[in-house]
Every structure is written in C-alpha cells, then in structure tokens.
Structure 1
Amino acid sequence: MKELIKWKGISFGYQEEKKVLKDVDLSIQKGEKIVVIGSNGAGKSTLFLLLNGILKPESGSYAYKGREIHYTKQEMRMLRKEIGIVFQEPDQQIVSQTVFHEVAFGLMNLGYSKEEVKQRVLAMLEKLNIQDLKDCPPHYLSGGQKKSVTIADILVMEPEVLLFDEPTASLDPLNQENVERILGQIANEGKTIVVSTHDMEFASRFADRILVVGEGTIIGNGTPMEIFSDKNLLSRAFVKPPVLYEIMKVLKEKKILPNDLELTDSEKLIQFLHLFKLG
C-alpha cells in the first residue's frame, strides 16, 4: 500500500494549558478502511479536523503523499480538496436552498463550468439514489436524506480520503444500513475511508484497522479482532466490545467455533450455528 498521511508528534489544545491530543503518530495507507473509536471527549473529532486542515497543530509534522504540509493557503486548498469531511450533524454542512445547488456548491467555488457542474451533480445524485430530491430544500429533508446529501457534497469533489464523523448517529436502522452500503460502495472504488463511531457492531464489520483514541493520544491500533480481544485497552478507552464478539468468544471457549473465525466472517458463523442447531 502507498502511504497517504504521516503524522509525527502532532499535538493540539483548545486551551493553552490543556492538550486534547498530544504527540500523536499516525500513518494512513491508500485504500484503507479505518474506524476510530473512543469515549466522548477523547479527541476523535479534533483528530478529524486536524486531518482535514481545519485545525492547525501546535506542534509536530504532517505529511501528505510524502510532502510536508506548511499550512500555506495553497496547501490548505489542496488538502481540503484531497481530504473531504462529512460532519456528524448535516445541518452544520448544508448551506444552499436546494439539493442540486448544495451538491454543486463546492464545484462552483472551484470554477468548474456550469455544464460540467450539472453533469457531475446529476451523476452523483443518481449514484446515491437521491435524484428525486434534486429540487427539494435540504433543511426540510429527513435525517437519512440529509446525510446522503452531505455525503454527495463531498463525493462530487472526488477526494482521495473521506472522513466520516459518526455517520450513522441518530439514524433509524434502515438509514444506517443505507449509509453503510454507501460507505462500502465508496471503499470498493478504492477510496481511503476513516470513520469515527460509537457503534462497535459497525466497527467490527467495516474496519480493516481500528484506532483507539484515549488519554490524549492513540492508545490502540490493530485489526478488529486484536482490538476487541484486549480487555485492558477497551477499559482504558471506556469502550465495550460488540455483542457479536462476546457471543463468538463464548462459543470458541466451548469449542463450538474454530479459533481462527474472524468477526467479519458472518456467513461462516451462521453456517456453524446451523450446523450445531444453534440458529
């Protein structure tokens, strides 16, 4: 894999005497699906704002595609185009009067022609199956529809890396499934995705790698199985493992499931449960 993002010793605090993040080292490879977990206030959102360049670190170095960022206007323009962020609350992101103009907003600011903007926006709305909302005022849409619009906002800009801050928060199960489907589709296209979430079931299904944020830094970095197997780490981060992991752990201890069965092997798990008449 090609390294896209490299942090060394990144620190940041909103108050001078208190650091939210301190001496954070981080590497993100092209095409990874990374999930960031941790308690409220651990610094997950701050980490995202630093990745996107909205916040500037107080110390440390940030390299993108091997080039160190010095926070010039030109570099910030490049970084925010290459690294898109979808905020937890859609209303923080929505600025226009119709869905079409909302999704077109960023492209227009970059100087694309009206015809190219129209083509790209309509294609994106169709891709996310929200073309029927084109002329609707976005502020009057449902939570799930607003989330799809804000995802379209960023995808239409064709970033290399996408940051999703709590993408399924406050959504009903059907809309959660829709957002997860969209994220999977984006990942299959080779995009690099970083998601923060409190949904451990989603984290176990989606992540190639999980980062655990706590105590002002990254205290855990590994596969879902490695992270959810570490009781001490989860305790430090005030995080509970997914229910599926707990079930699989008990069944492995009873020799009903093989030890090498991963959290993501849901089809194999169902097969074993049927085999032993447990499902």
Structure 2
Amino acid sequence: MSYISIKDLSYQYPIGKKQALKTINLEIEKGKLYTIIGENGSGKTTFCHILRGFIPYFHKGELKGTVSIDGKDLFDYEIEELAIKVGYVFQNPFTQISGIKDTVFEEIAYGLENLGVEREEITARVNEVMDLLGIQYLREKHPIHLSGGQKQRVVFASIIVMEPDILVIDEPTSQLDPHGTEEIFKIINIMKQKGKTIILVEHKMELIAEFSDFVMVLQDGNLVMQGKTEEILTDERLLSYVGALPQYALLGLEMIKHNLSIKKIPITERQSEEIINNWLRQKNLVS
C-alpha cells in the first residue's frame, strides 16, 4: 500500500505563464528512498514544496489533483501537523539556520521548544540526535561560525530531532565538497535504515546509485521516467533528459556495445568489480 499517493497533480505559480508540474501520478512506499532528478526548471523544488505544504499554504497559484499522506488528504492536515509529519531540508543550510541561537545545542532544540516539549525531553532528544550524527563536538559552537558542511549537519539534526516520518531533502550537497557530501549521505543512510520515507533531490549519479531505491525523472514539469534505481540508471534515455548516467553504467553499456557478454549493467563500483571479474573468469583470464 502506498504511503504517499499522488494523482493527476498539476500546479501553476500565480505569475507563471505555464504549469510547473503537469499531471503527475506517483505512488511512494513507506520506508523507501526516492530520488528526483532533472534539469533546472524541471519542477523538482515545486514538487518538494507541495509535499511540505508550502504549496498551497504559502505559495498560492492553481493546484489540481490530489495528494494523500498516510491515507489522509494533504490539504486536510493542519500546517502545524504537517510540519511534524514532514521534515524539510533546504538546499542552502544558511537559510535554515535560525540566527537567534548562540549554540548548536540550542539551535537543534529550537523546534522542540516551539512545540512546548518538556525541557528534560528536549535535552534527551537533542543529545540522542547529536550522538547519532556525530556532532557532539559542535555542541557549544555558534551556528553562524560553522562551515557549510557543519551547518548542513546541524540543519539535519534540527529536523531529525522533531522525529518526522517523512524527510524531503532538496539538493543537500550542492554547495558541499566531497567530504561534506559523504557526511550528508551517511546521515541520509542512517535515516533510511531507521525506516524513514525519504524524497531526495540530487544530481550526483554515483551516490544516487548507491543509496536510492527508486528514481523519478522530471522534465518541464512532466514525470518522464520512474522506476527502480537499477532500471532508470541503466536506461540510455536518461542521457537525453539529464545528460548523465553513473560512470559504471556507462562502462557496462560500452562492454555490451563491444559484444562483451555481461549479465547486467552495473551502477555501483561494487557491481562493476563483480561483473568485470566474472567476465574475466569466463574468459579464463583470472583464476
């Protein structure tokens, strides 16, 4: 049974001349990681805004179709209720740091304070999340003085501490270096292992291949491809939509074009090593 069900969803911004999303139909399973890919202007952030309730509660415009979460129509949720149900991580961590707290601990606790959670529970939950994400060493630092990667981890902590069932994450690594990107995907994987339903906007193909369960491709507001990660990331049509495939998938496709028999096209480094080693053994080139 679908956890999030989207039927005939279309949306046009108040001053937009065309629809940002066009007749989207999608079923999202609970506890899975769905990645949305597409070029700039394809509708990725608009889609995220709808799931979070920014549309229509903040952005108005013309919205058609239905969205239900956990069997309840999205628009039957109170905005406060939806804020607890769905955690949202912005692309730029600088815009999500409150700017009014003097320490990382206080910043992470801020949302719980607004909900009126008891002080002892706040302390316990914040400490638990900081331990989980490995950021206790930032505890007394001022949030404004952190690096971009550190800010992004604090933002994640401030969302996770609210214990949402769903995480909507909009290009969290776009402004991070490789180390910062690795740290963020460690957090995303932790949340996946904890059974959270995750909708992730991302463009780094190798990371999508490693962690994602399903991939959705948007182009000009249309959902042009959707399916299991291995199906989408080995489909050459993706090159015409986003101009990229995982490097390991490209290797597999080249092997097939050169009549080298392989059982499947790899999308990760591990799969690539297995397939190449199997092929070499078939040819008696390795023992």
Q: TM-score of the superposition, structure 1-length normalised?
A: 0.90
Q: Which residue of 2 aligns with 1:34?
A: 34
Return the letter of the residue paired with 1:44: K
* Structure 1 residues 44 and 268, CA gap change in structure 2 (3 angstroms): closer
The answer on whether the counterparts of 1:37 and 1:213 sit within 8 Å (CA) in structure 2 is yes
Please give the alpha-carbon distance, in whole angstroms, between the structure 2 residues aligned to 1:21 and 1:261.
32
Q: Which structure 2 residues correspond to residues 1-279 of structure 1 after superposition, within 5 A?
A: 2-14=1-13, 15-56=15-56, 58-71=63-76, 75-95=78-98, 96-235=101-240, 237-254=241-258, 256=260, 258-264=262-268, 266-273=269-276, 276=280
Please give the alpha-carbon distance, in whole angstroms, between the structure 2 residues aligned to 1:220 and 1:8.
16
Please give the alpha-carbon distance, in whole angstroms, between the structure 1 residues aligned to 2:29 and 2:38.
21
How far the C-alpha of 1:102 sits from its partner, in A, is 1.1
Please give the alpha-carbon distance, in whole angstroms, between the structure 2 residues aligned to 1:126 and 1:257.
47
* Structure 1 residues 60 and 118, CA gap change in structure 2 (3 angstroms): same
User: How much identity, in percent, do the aligned residues show?
Assistant: 34
Please give the alpha-carbon distance, in whole angstroms, between the structure 1 residues aligned to 2:17 and 2:264.
47
Return the letter of the residue paired with 1:124: V
Return the letter of the residue paired with 2:158: D
Please give the alpha-carbon distance, in whole angstroms, between the structure 2 residues aligned to 1:182 and 1:122.
16
Please give the alpha-carbon distance, in whole angstroms, between the structure 1 residues aligned to 2:159 and 2:253.
39
The answer on whether the counterparts of 1:31 and 1:193 sit within 8 Å (CA) in structure 2 is yes
The answer on whether the counterparts of 1:187 and 1:193 sit within 8 Å (CA) in structure 2 is yes
The answer on whether the counterparts of 2:32 and 2:213 sit within 8 Å (CA) in structure 1 is yes
Which blocks of at least 5 consecutive residues in structure 2 are unaligned?
57-61
User: CA offsets per residue over residues 30-59 of structure 1, 9 Å max, x none?
Assistant: 011111000011111111011011111622
The answer on whether the counterparts of 1:12 and 1:20 sit within 8 Å (CA) in structure 2 is yes
How far the C-alpha of 1:231 sits from its partner, in A, is 3.0
Return the letter of the residue paired with 1:243: Q
Please give the alpha-carbon distance, in whole angstroms, between the structure 2 residues aligned to 1:60 and 1:68.
11
Number of aligned residue pairs: give it.
Answer: 273
Provide the aligned C-alpha RMSD in A: 2.0
Secondary structure of 2:54's counterpart equals coil
Q: TM-score of the superposition, structure 2-length normalised?
A: 0.88
* Structure 1 residues 27 and 232, CA gap change in structure 2 (3 angstroms): same
How far the C-alpha of 1:69 sits from its partner, in A, is 2.8
Q: Which moved more, 1:141-150 or 1:226-235?
A: 226-235
The answer on whether the counterparts of 2:263 and 2:275 sit within 8 Å (CA) in structure 1 is no
Please give the alpha-carbon distance, in whole angstroms, between the structure 2 residues aligned to 1:70 and 1:176.
34
